[in-house]
Amino acid sequence: MMLRIGISLLAFLAAWAPLSSALSCPPQKTSAANHQSSSLASTRRSFVGGAAAAAAGLVTSGPSFASEPPSSTGLPSKGARAPSFELPNSRGTGLVTLDGLVKNSKWTVLYFYPGAFTSGCTLEARGFQKDLEEYRKLNAQIVGVSVDPVEKNAQFCTEEKLDFFMLSDKGGIVSKKYGSALSIPGFGTFSNRQTYIIDPSGELRWIFTDVESKIARHSSEVLEKLAELERA
């Protein structure tokens, strides 16, 4: 059975690779647009290299999930109200909403990740945990989101000794609302690796889309931007 899955996966990757090149965005006039186009092309190549295998559950370590272009719904607008949600948390204490997160007057770092226990997601979570006291000094809280079930996220938090919780986005509904959904034919929808900074009023202030290439230093990058936004 595993052999048949592996063969099907290889066939999918072989067919997907040339298609992804054909779908690459045309050059834009501005340097910022050119940079974004180059970044998306790079992450497509990374995705072909490892994401599908991890998504299929064939590996729990090794190649990490790579970023993909935002879903067709697009990214939400910075400066607007962050998309609302209501999702179960890994602590087993019921549903968490956007309103519930911001009512304590804290900034929220809402980060989407493809799958617990994969190498990239583990490294990313450890980075946030290592810097957690710095986030608290900035009056900020960390919340993760993936399509993993509550039980798996709970186990992930326990084994990695995380002092923050994860939300379970079954079917990737909220991931799609945030423009952070990654769909793999035959395997379903997963959360793309993207991070959002939401202020205490619930306004979306910043979006990190190019996370995969700098997972090890991503938390430091978020802390720097968070401090900058709070000073503004």
Give the CATH number for residue 226.
Answer: 3.40.30.10
When pLDDT is averaged across residues 38-51 and rounded to a whole number, the result is 39
| Residue 58 resides in a domain | no
Say yes or no to pLDDT of 232 above 70: yes
When pLDDT is averaged across residues 96-117 and rounded to a whole number, the result is 97
| Residue 168 resides in a domain | yes
Report how many domains make up the chain: 1
CB 103 within 8 A of CB 138: no
Interval 215-231: pLDDT, tens: 999 999 999 999 999 99
Sign for the CA dihedral angle at 144, 146, 221, 214 comes to positive
| Residue 128 resides in a domain | yes
Interval 146-197: pLDDT, tens: 999 999 999 999 999 999 999 999 999 999 999 999 888 888 899 999 999 9
| Residue 163 resides in a domain | yes
Please indicate whether residue 127 or residue 48 has the higher confidence score (pLDDT). Answer: 127
Please state, rounded to an integer, the average pLDDT across all residues of the chain: 78
Domain ranges, residue 159: 84-231
DSSP, res 145: E
When pLDDT is averaged across residues 84-96 and rounded to a whole number, the result is 95
| Residue 59 resides in a domain | no
| Residue 15 resides in a domain | no
| Residue 50 resides in a domain | no
> What local confidence, expressed as pLDDT, does residue 98 receive?
97
Say yes or no to pLDDT of 100 above 50: yes
When pLDDT is averaged across residues 105-115 and rounded to a whole number, the result is 97
Instruction: List Cβ neighbours of 154 (8 Å cut-off, separation of 6 or more).
Output: 90, 91, 92, 166
Amino acid in position 107:
W
| Residue 57 resides in a domain | no
Please indicate whether residue 78 or residue 14 has the higher confidence score (pLDDT). Answer: 78
